[in-house]
Structure 1
């Protein structure tokens, strides 16, 4: 008796030592791809495991109970009761082998199959003995459901697909929790012979194998009636392998980590619709031009949709996330500047401001149209995106103070190395990103409260009051206007265009959502003639058409406030001024006018100068020294003129101010 006990202890000790010395290799189980989910747990994107294998971690909680019941019925009916090895199944397999002279059934339990999937080996007797040992090890380490999870994660599903989760997405286009009996049975059958049972290549063989799995789940206690089984057997087979989910590709690759599941704040349906809108828009854009879109929830700052660019389009730098690219915002910063001016009492929406030629030291800004509107209200100056009033307001607010407030609102301006914030900042003379611009406009939409945008669910950060609520709401009210060509009403919006049309922007918000659109070339080259109003604003209108209607009363602004009509701007000759002295050999002189009604006519000593009728400037080369009268006429007959002197190059400078010609390009 003592000898027997000693032998038993020695066997147990030896098995324990062997188990510790040779533990199961779980490398393949741990080397899974990443899955990115939307806010409701729907799959946005899956990324492959190392080696390009589509393998995703799957547990029994991820699949219907019906699937695990079918699996156990088809592969290992005594799975819940045996210790990893089923002696009855092994004896039966051995007897069949001896009688038939070949392997008829393997006698493998699901635990032994899991061991083989963890460590694939040639199918021979030695491998079978190792599988038996590994199965006992797995049973000692894991619960029955965890062992099923190994099988569900690693079972081959054809080609480079492994596991029920990846198989469900590849063959049926949906997660395994939504599989029916016929679909579950096909995936179980496919794991037996993944090459010869692929439904896209061998549909008849796959159907027969699927139906055999369904037939094994029979009897009154099975939970599946004969009619249900017949209905499942009549189900259609998948005819092709589907592409793996790949929504939000830029963001998914930024946020995902190998062998993890990441949940984002995105809305899957809205993300899909926004990507479709972006691709439709790309077809209308010039070559090498890209688009980026961000949509966020104002209350939570959760990003609901994000398009980083033309994924896969090498000519459009599709691998770059252009929502993080630093670009010039053009006039899109003006609303926040006006909010600061309102907050500090520098102006109110009804304050009359001057849109007239003015120099700020050496800086002489102009409007995009090269003309001036004269005296207008601050509200109209913002709606019309006039440059002179904006620069004048920044001159009073202070460029450094404005830059600091932008940083607090989440849109810190990037300035050239060694440069300080200055007046061109009002017109986009700094860099920012689309994500930061969305955060900035969310601050205006949320009564001046600043909070960072969020990509993953979690507690919201405490807001900071970046600008006074009253000022932010006044700006929001000014920006509420109809989209050109119709579309959603009750939306506040503003456009921006950087120098040379390199970047065109449209930013907008209603009571619930904030959205931003950027269009440009990733390499920063110009798009001549491009504007935010013509290029990005129509896309923004279509973005808001995707969003649910927001209650107008929640915007807390008056959309139809009376607007003061701007007085007509008188015709003026900006250059040359009266009494100017020009040098004869200095080359062409740019005659420039403002105000009045186009088309304008330029004359020198009564002789018209040929030029484009829509322009407010013309190049004139003085024929020689002397006095000349420069006149400009508008379409209504108004006229203004100035007498100038052209002196010879060698002539001593007169007492009058000498002006050199200025370029036609601002």
Structure 2
């Protein structure tokens, strides 16, 4: 009977244990877990993966995503040795650690060690619960057991790496290493790893920026444990303990803030953006922008764009000198501001004229006061050069010649070319007149850089891109290779600003009406840079000229981009490289579209006798005079030559006879004039 009772008791005990186990399993399986997909900081990285800008999560914390493979293995080893030696063997709760912690508490009268596993710490961090109450500890155990059933050890460890508190609004190891050490967590010194193990145990008390002493003491305890566990030797311990603990937090990267905000707006759901910028170059040009405005008035602003014109990739984009709400309106991205381009559209107009056979760089054109149906443009200096080569007209940025060409082509031709080049523009009043040739149109710096990249690329336009991913669109031809090369050859002949190297950078400056905008855009065989300076509110900047204000910044930007320019390509085979006298007759001198109906300003004219007059014929003949034209002159009476190749402008004609006679004069270029008179 006793034996039967023992068997029953054992069976009952086993049944109760199994029932308790099954009940426990059911409870664990039924555990509602907190959200396991963490919100991490949105990041913007450069073309090489270097961080440009990081954003806080919704509650203002810095919590950066990290993978286990992106963390120094030595740190992981130190963390497990110090916090949870049996992490890979327990099921979420380490019974031995719990019993040890309980015994220590009983013997010492206070808590010596907590007995929490890393999984339990993850449970607490996920639920943001405390550890001071038995109920809270039991809840953490239950959640930890449930986590171990649903996640891998690597996933649990990754959650800890993202959630561990490091004081203030820092969460996770990447936020800590960037803030305290200014680097990623993949390569850490033993002292750095020990500090990162120590801080989460008491993150506010051990914050290095609050108490270097407390942080150092905690780090040294972790290092001592690492020595005891054989992770480092005595020599290493002595060496790393001399390493100074940082006493301040570093700011998180905020490079290229305007472009970073832009890509976030373009793709709000993306966690990590990789842009085409180069962090080193971007940093150099942001520093240049700060230096430039520091020498100017409190309201003057600057913007720069650098692109590789062979690919269309933007390598640097500086929207302002400082991303702040100051008198310069630094929060406004002036690479996208709509501004008047001044004279920077002139190269496109000349290129179109070359392609249409209206002109050649050696063509002569008039720079004289001209009335275009009531529109009377003037040169910036209010001076006129008379007959001048197209090459010189562009280099001197004269207004009358470029308006003559625009008038000959029609403004619509220029707008069509801008459309094909992908340039977005705004027309004042919605209509295009001849004034667009001189900046009477609104464009963006980024688009102007794209336009000059087209010229530098041999006349083929590619949209500028600022993200590494996505399809690369095919280019559109806007200018012929010969015309694009000719523009580069002309612009490379411009004298550099005082003090700048004479490196044949092809560049053009511009100043908008009222000195509101100063521009300089230039390119070599690989890169194109655009500079805009002015006030974001559009108020005038007295005395501001593109050549004086923006051009020096352009040359400085190229100097910070690379030590020397990339050579321009050679002239395409189709390029007509001749002097003016060797040009085909129609290209030697520009004639407007109405030239056939207009008198040549320098054409010959019969100065005497006037047309329709009655003149007395003297015994020695008739005195005639010619004005204008080019000597020598040939005179005809009723179609018959009377005097041939006369060098003077006055000559006596004889053997004419009385009555009506038609007198004609022909100059050396074949131009003629005539008058009809009655001789008595």
2:415 maps to 1:422: no
2:459 maps to 1:448: yes
Contact 1:450 1:463 (8 Å CA) reproduced: yes
Structure 1 SS opposite 2:531: strand
Report deviation, 1:261. Answer: 1.9
Find the counterpart in structure 2 of residue 301 from structure 1: 312
Task: Check 1:137–1:483 CA distance in 2 against 1; reply closer, same or farther (3 A cut).
Answer: farther
Aligned partners of 2:357, 2:21: CA distance in 1, in Å? 90
Report deviation, 1:13. Answer: 6.9
TM-score where L is the length of structure 2: 0.78
Structure 1 SS opposite 2:387: strand
Report deviation, 1:426. Answer: 0.7
Find the counterpart in structure 1 of residue 159 from structure 2: 150
- Superposed CA RMSD in Å reads 2.5
2:357 maps to 1:362: no
Report deviation, 1:193. Answer: 1.2
2:587 maps to 1:548: no
Find the counterpart in structure 2 of residue 406 from structure 1: 418
Contact 1:59 1:146 (8 Å CA) reproduced: no
Task: Check 1:229–1:464 CA distance in 2 against 1; reply closer, same or farther (3 A cut).
Answer: farther
Contact 2:510 2:545 (8 Å CA) reproduced: yes
Aligned partners of 2:59, 2:149: CA distance in 1, in Å? 31
2:332 maps to 1:323: no
Aligned partners of 1:220, 1:130: CA distance in 2, in Å? 31
Aligned partners of 2:565, 2:509: CA distance in 1, in Å? 23
Structure 1 SS opposite 2:489: helix
2:26 maps to 1:11: no
Aligned partners of 2:103, 2:28: CA distance in 1, in Å? 31
Find the counterpart in structure 2 of residue 516 from structure 1: 530
Q: Which moved more, 1:179-188 or 1:339-348?
A: 179-188
Find the counterpart in structure 2 of residue 487 from structure 1: 500
Find the counterpart in structure 1 of residue 515 from structure 2: 501
Aligned partners of 2:137, 2:210: CA distance in 1, in Å? 31
Match of 2:489 among 449, 454, 477: 477
Aligned partners of 1:416, 1:36: CA distance in 2, in Å? 37
Find the counterpart in structure 1 of residue 643 from structure 2: none
Task: Check 1:79–1:10 CA distance in 2 against 1; reply closer, same or farther (3 A cut).
Answer: closer
Task: Check 1:235–1:562 CA distance in 2 against 1; reply closer, same or farther (3 A cut).
Answer: farther
Contact 2:364 2:389 (8 Å CA) reproduced: yes
Higher Cα Rg, which structure: 2
Spell out the pairing of 1:634-645 with structure 2 (5 A cutoff). none
Contact 1:33 1:258 (8 Å CA) reproduced: no
Task: Check 1:112–1:180 CA distance in 2 against 1; reply closer, same or farther (3 A cut).
Answer: same
Find the counterpart in structure 2 of residue 651 from structure 1: none
- Cα deviation, 1:557-612, whole Å, max 9, x if unaligned, reads 59xx9999xxxxxxx9xxxxxxxxxxxxxxxxxxxxxxxxxxxxxxxxxxxxxxxx
Aligned partners of 1:142, 1:503: CA distance in 2, in Å? 60
Q: Which runs of 5+ in 1 are unaligned?
A: 565-571, 573-666
Find the counterpart in structure 2 of residue 530 from structure 1: 544
Structure 2 SS opposite 1:129: helix
Find the counterpart in structure 1 of residue 65 from structure 2: 57
Spell out the pairing of 1:65-464 with structure 2 (5 A cutoff). 65-123=73-131, 124-218=133-227, 222=231, 224-256=232-264, 257=268, 260-309=271-320, 310-417=322-429, 419-458=430-469, 459-464=471-476
Task: Check 1:534–1:557 CA distance in 2 against 1; reply closer, same or farther (3 A cut).
Answer: farther
- Cα deviation, 1:52-109, whole Å, max 9, x if unaligned, reads 2222122222221111111111111111222211111111111112222322111111
Aligned partners of 1:538, 1:135: CA distance in 2, in Å? 64
Contact 1:510 1:550 (8 Å CA) reproduced: no
Aligned partners of 2:567, 2:483: CA distance in 1, in Å? 18
Aligned partners of 1:6, 1:236: CA distance in 2, in Å? 56
Match of 1:46 among 29, 38, 54: 54
Contact 1:293 1:515 (8 Å CA) reproduced: yes
Task: Check 1:190–1:478 CA distance in 2 against 1; reply closer, same or farther (3 A cut).
Answer: same
Aligned partners of 2:411, 2:444: CA distance in 1, in Å? 19
Report deviation, 1:25. Answer: 2.9
- Cα deviation, 1:195-245, whole Å, max 9, x if unaligned, reads 2112233222211211222222236863x3332232222111112221221
Report deviation, 1:50. Answer: 1.8
Report deviation, 1:398. Answer: 2.0
Find the counterpart in structure 1 of residue 592 from structure 2: none
Q: Which moved more, 1:172-181 or 1:469-478?
A: 172-181
- Cα deviation, 1:119-168, whole Å, max 9, x if unaligned, reads 12232111111111111222223222221221111211122222111111
Contact 1:479 1:492 (8 Å CA) reproduced: yes
- Cα deviation, 1:524-573, whole Å, max 9, x if unaligned, reads 11112211011111111110110124564444359xx9999xxxxxxx9x
Find the counterpart in structure 1 of residue 653 from structure 2: none
Aligned partners of 2:75, 2:117: CA distance in 1, in Å? 17
Structure 2 SS opposite 1:484: coil
- Cα deviation, 1:447-482, whole Å, max 9, x if unaligned, reads 111111111113432211122111111101111144
Task: Check 1:436–1:354 CA distance in 2 against 1; reply closer, same or farther (3 A cut).
Answer: same
Contact 2:497 2:548 (8 Å CA) reproduced: no
Task: Check 1:511–1:486 CA distance in 2 against 1; reply closer, same or farther (3 A cut).
Answer: farther
Aligned partners of 1:563, 1:78: CA distance in 2, in Å? 87
Structure 2 SS opposite 1:323: coil
Contact 1:512 1:550 (8 Å CA) reproduced: no
Match of 1:24 among 26, 31, 34: 34
Total equivalences in the alignment: 559
Aligned partners of 1:557, 1:108: CA distance in 2, in Å? 75
Report deviation, 1:49. Answer: 1.5
Contact 1:326 1:433 (8 Å CA) reproduced: yes
Report deviation, 1:7. Answer: 3.7
